[in-house]
Amino acid sequence: MAFEERDNGFGAIRLMLAVSVVVAHATSLGFGWEDLGHSAFRGQTNVGTLAVFGFFVLSGLLITRSARRTSPGRFAWHRAVRILPGLWVCLLVTAFVAAPLVAYREHGNLDGFWDGPRGPVQYVWHNWFVGVRQYGIHDLLVQSTPWGRQTSSSVFNGALWSLVYEVLCYAATGLLAVTGLLHRRRRLVLAAAVVLFGVIVTDQVRHRELAGPPASHHGEIRLPLLGAVYPQWMVYLGFLFLAGALVELYADRLPLRGWAGAVAVVLLATSLLAGGFFVVGFPALVYALVWAGARMPRRLRRIGRRSDYSYGIYIYGFVIQQVFAGYGWNRWGFWPYTALSLPATVTAAALSWHLVERHALRGKDWTPTCRSGRSREAP
């Protein structure tokens, strides 16, 4: 094996990536500035989106491992209890706690808040199955936040855009498991990754750059429950997910050397700063993450084993920063705003884990029981 299945630093890396998303969003949500790292990375990507890319690599590795060891039904159940309960509570908190606070701040009352086609109830209903079909609630945050004024739209949780792609990758992994490709035809998984990477290279040759979240792109496909899905993003994120899956499938053949990890980091940094990120930087990112996870200092490998706050940080950060911006808590500058929003986000993530996610995961081995028609015998 190239790395230990349990004794690795992937939990620490996931936490770092989630925190990076929150810090990156502080620039645009708090002040309407360009996304953190956008200019430095030559417009190819930004720090927040780069963190999302990293999430998909690690998800591909970990989810593929799960799919190879469980039945298809059990695999689907595991994914559902990991993603949905935390998301549902986040939607409820956003609609019935955060949004009323914003409405009272902006209007001084809650008159008409509960009614209308874009009310809080509709917000929860339209977004409950990971696809975001309603980003805002009424016209809240449009005039009170830099992001709202810049986009002329009400957006409470733009970070949820990537969940639909994550779930589609889960579905594809389940299909590969059902057909036996994960167990007996891993070369076909490799071929699929090569095809997707070929599409990415073709995009770059044709100067079809992929930058920023997909909300500003055209050519979407509308799916029931999931809403808009953008094929170009599915290709790019799907490649990274498959690359992570290949790390798991070929773990016995993947050498992890210190010099190779250093080369990967240099190539990644060079592609970000000089160009060619999607062609050179994507493979380098995959290797660098896996190498970092395998070579993480031992004390840091404990992070995320018992308490995984990364998901909660990701889904709550955007909401909290929007509310703080709506209350004007960005007036003291970038670092005070970040220093306020980051601990608040971590606190929300901790509550989400200990009160919701952890309890939901305890039911991952639940199996429905069939009641017998026979009468019970008397003791």
12: confidence class by pLDDT, cuts 50, 70, 90 = very high
- Reported pTM: 0.94
Tens-place pLDDT, residues 243-286: 999 999 998 888 889 999 999 999 999 999 999 999 999 999 99
Tens-place pLDDT, residues 41-50: 999 999 999 9
Question: Residue 86 — φ and ψ, nearest 5°?
Answer: -65, -40
The neighbouring-strand residues paired with 227 are 223
DSSP 7: S
Which pair of tokens denotes residue 134? Answer: 């309603």
Tens-place pLDDT, residues 323-376: 999 999 999 999 999 999 999 999 999 999 999 999 999 998 887 664 444 434
The neighbouring-strand residues paired with 228 are 222
Stated as kind and residue range, the H or E segment containing 222 is strand 221-223
Alpha carbon separation from 10 to 153, 167, 378 (Å, rounded): 36, 20, 53
> Quick check: 186 and 249 in contact, CB under 8 A?
yes
Rounded to an integer, what is the distance from CA 174 to the centroid of its chain? Answer: 19
